[in-house]
């Protein structure tokens, strides 16, 4: 079982923000549990596990120091999340673009305009961007980008879907209906190993 913990950081921590994230993740999980991916996945609010939330927050707070990078943070997060054989976890952070988590991700990867992921840590710092929730969470589960890094408007030739959520700017409503993932990424998600550590995808 893979658990995605989600957490909203101030100043984005209203009930509305929490509702948005938990419902978007819930919607994604519903798709992932079904064919063709059939992933055992659960979505949890980090604050419902206060001990874990405290440890995670301590690590995230280090990002206020510029010498501590998003990659440093992600690697330290692996030490506190339950990452094991029987069950394993990932962390999804929602925050404002001025939050130090967002600033650190953007500093490390300038192409990461609205969100960044470095396994097992994903961040989204554009409000109400459901595509962003899906895209970054799918990175956490092993999906790869379908755009050329040198020119994000260019689609990768191995993406066989007209509109794929792993593109740089997929259509706004793409996350509403399946399919929103190309065959390449469906296959990657089907093979997701409990302890798999996909290469860094900071964007
Ligand atoms: Zn694709
Ligand atoms: Zn991406």
pLDDT in tens, the chain (203 residues): 899 999 999 776 788 899 999 999 999 999 999 999 999 999 999 999 999 999 999 999 999 999 999 999 999 999 999 887 778 899 999 999 999 999 999 999 888 889 999 999 999 999 999 999 999 999 999 999 999 988 999 999 999 999 999 999 899 899 999 999 999 999 999 987 544 555 445 55
Q: How far is the CA of 43 from the centre of ligand 2 (A)?
A: 20
Ligand approaching nearest to the C-alpha of 185 = 1
Q: Which-ligand-closest: CA of 139?
A: 2
135 CA → ligand 1 middle, Å: 11
Cβ density class 39-76: b for 16+ within 10 Å, e for less: eebebbebbeeeebeebbeebbeebeeeebbbbbbbeb
Distance from Cα 87 to the centre of ligand 1, integer Å: 27
Domains by residue range for the chain, with CATH: 2-144 (3.40.50)
> Measured in angstroms, how far is the CA atom of residue 57 from the centroid of ligand 2?
24
Cα torsion through 40, 198, 128, 154, rounded to 10: -130
Distance 141 CA to ligand 1 centre (A): 14
Q: What's the pTM value of the predicted model, to 2 decimals? A: 0.92
Cα 203 to averaged position of ligand 2 atoms, centre (Å):
5
Ligand nearest to the CA of 122: 2
Q: Which residues pair with 42 in a beta bridge?
A: 3
Two structure tokens written together for 178: 């399946």
Q: Cα–chain-centroid distance for residue 77?
A: 14
The residue written with tokens 């010498």 in the block is 67
Ligand that comes closest to the CA of residue 168: 2
Q: Determine the distance separating the centroid of ligand 1 and the alpha carbon of 82, expressed in angstroms.
A: 30
- Residue 140 makes CB contacts below 8 A (sequence gap 6+) with 4, 90, 92, 117, 119, 120, 122
């Amino acid at each position: 079982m893979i658990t995605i913990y989600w957490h909203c950081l101030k100043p984005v921590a209203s009930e509305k923000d929490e509702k948005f994230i938990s419902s978007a993740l819930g919607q994604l999980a519903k798709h992932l549990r079904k064919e063709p991916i059939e992933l055992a996945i659960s979505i949890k609010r980090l604050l419902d596990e206060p001990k874990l939330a405290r440890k995670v927050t301590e690590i995230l707070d280090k990002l206020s120091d510029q010498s501590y990078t998003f990659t440093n943070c992600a690697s330290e997060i692996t030490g506190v999340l339950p990452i094991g054989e029987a069950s394993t976890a990932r962390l999804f952070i929602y925050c404002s673009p001025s939050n130090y988590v967002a600033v650190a991700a953007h500093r490390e990867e300038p192409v990461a305009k609205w969100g960044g992921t470095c396994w097992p840590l994903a961040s989204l710092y554009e409000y109400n961007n459901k595509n962003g929730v899906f895209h970054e969470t799918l990175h956490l589960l092993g999906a790869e980008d379908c755009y050329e890094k040198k020119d994000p408007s260019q689609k990768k030739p191995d993406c066989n879907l007209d509109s794929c959520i792993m593109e740089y700017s997929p259509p706004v409503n793409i996350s509403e209906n399946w399919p929103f993932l190309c065959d390449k990424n469906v296959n990657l998600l089907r093979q997701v190993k409990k302890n798999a550590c996909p290469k860094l995808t900071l964007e």
